Amino acid sequence: MCRSIKTLRPTPSEPEEATGDDIRAAALQYVRKVSGFRAPAAHNAAAFDRAVEEITRSTAELLSSLEIRGARSR
């Protein structure tokens, strides 16, 4: 599922962190895939948008709490 969502976790070889835009784009792709809607109808828009925001927030929290072994401290 969601094969086109790129890995956002930094690696020792590519230590660049994901931006807020990267995280939100991945959340949007995920919600689109799971819901089956590219853009929801008006009566589903609030639920769709809420899911995107919650997944964005959860993903940012996950990425900020991961310890990447071999990464240099900045």
pLDDT in tens, 26-72: 999 999 999 999 999 999 999 999 999 999 999 999 999 988 777 55
- For the record, the structure tokens of 33 come out as 């895939």
pTM: 0.80
Residue 74 has pLDDT above 70, yes or no: no
- pLDDT tens profile 4-22: 677 888 776 676 788 999 9
Side chain identity at 12, as an amino acid letter?
A: P
23 touches 56 (CB < 8 A): yes
Q: Looking at residue 6, what is its pLDDT?
A: 76
CB of 23 within 8 A of CB of 59? yes
**How is the chain split into domains, by residue range?**
20-64
- Quote the CA–CA distance of 65 and 30 in Å, as a whole number: 21
Tell me how crowded residue 46 is: count the other CB atoms within 10 A of its CB: 10
